[in-house]
Structure 1
Amino acid sequence: MSARPTAAPAAPPRVLTVAGSDSGGGAGIQADLKTMLALGTHGMSVVTAVTAQNSLGVQGFWELPAEAVRAQYRSVVDDIGVGAVKTGMLASAELVETVAELLAGTDAPAVVDPVGVSKHGDPLLAASALDSVRTKLLPAATVATPNLDEVAQLTGVEVTSEDGLRRAAAAVLAYGPTWVLIKGGHLKGEAVDLLTDGFDEHVLRAPRHDNRHTHGTGCTLASAIAARLALGDDVPAAVAAAKEYVTGAIAAGFALGGGIGPVDHGWRFREA
């Protein structure tokens, strides 16, 4: 008598990243997918741009046509479905507007990392796209996760101490995201972030690790938030869990190449 076929295991929660490819593997699509796997979700991707990138910087990038980005997105969402979406490098105004339109038509939380420059200071977003980020992309965000350089780029607000985080959050919220996480990692002292929707406020603190190998931190944090949202967390719980994960990844960051190495997305596996 033949054995009965066993039912396939249920699929884990599905998370989609819409971002650029980092050929060095430390940030972008590659970091996003590693993070999603580490947090127990199924990662899927829409590639918006291809970068030539290593530990020393970005040597070049080539954006994909808007029709290719739209086709990738529809292919995944219409068949597989999605529990959360994360956006990263979008490069141009046309891609920003295309992705914002897709997010607005998707019934899933969206984590928007408004990537403007790389860890090395290389521009990853055309200056002409800033207004589209403000007026199209940020209003579609469940959570926006700008760092202090991106806050200044988008709003003109310069933050030099923890006291300025609330002012920065108000300036970003004025563009329409439901929540904003202002990342204070560029400040001295503790790594302090502020999460708020304009009413509910959460200050998240973590020790600052003496490790220069932090490539991919922003991508990793945003992807971790999206993964936790797909797993069923509310926004404050998702951000707190993501902060804990990325803090461990920063502590375990390793040297790679001749410049700044990546955070370690698999740090929890190595601790087991």
Structure 2
Amino acid sequence: MQPTIAFIGTGNMAGAILEGLIATGYPAAQLWATRRQKEKLATFQALGVNTTADNEQAIAAADIVVISVKPQMMQQTLKALAPALQSRKPLLISVAAGISCDSLERWAGGDIPVIRAMPNTPSLLKLGACGLFATETVTELQREQAQAITDAVGISVWCEQEQGIDQVTAVSGSGPAYFFLMMEKMIDAGIALGMSPENARELTLQTALGAAEMAKQTGIEPAQLRKNVTSPGGTTEQAILSFERDELGRVVETAMLACMNRAAEMSEILGADE
């Protein structure tokens, strides 16, 4: 039998994962969804999911608890739920940014298996990328179960060290915003060149989609794909040379380092006991 999974705090991300599980054939009767406003759980009720505003009720039935509350609320929430978690001892999966496994386990009462997950917003379209890190008490079966949960909305990779979650944050967690910024600037530049806003937007978005699919489906490294469309003395070469003169690589690396460092800082700040 599939493990029973309780989603504590079923907002956009947790809701997407839950729906992704159902789409893969996961039995709705083995899923629980909680939210303070029970009327917002109607969508999941219609899918056959168990719903409640009582977090303890969901945890009492769960083998796996996916906790998806705002990072600032995590300490308060877990401490309130610690008796229920200690009674059940489920696998605890957190999708909140910036909270270490040590803090999660401590607030949950200790001696409980914990996995940190760092999904990204394309998970809402089942095109997500997620990083995972497990504590030593997590079994191999629990690792497989956790990956099946996050794979329901995209792909997942494992980090050997917990610091790897901060690296995942810099690459894929925050990564969609980098591409959105590039699209935004390309649209603006297209308009500045005299293109209509509609055409600039449509061509930019389709080009981004096509480039990502080409890299994904062909398996050819992005560097080689770039070379393939950069003819010596041609138009693309002039744009690439301009990017290189402005040290685009350094700009990207500096930005991602700032992102990773902030993730580590948040972990220290949010992980302090009140």
Structure having the higher helix fraction is 2
Structure having the higher strand fraction is 1
Higher RCO, Cα 8 Å, sep 6+: 1
Q: After TM superposition, is the score higher than 0.5?
A: no
TM-score, with structure 2 as normaliser: 0.36
Pair member with larger Rg? 2
TM-score, with structure 1 as normaliser: 0.37
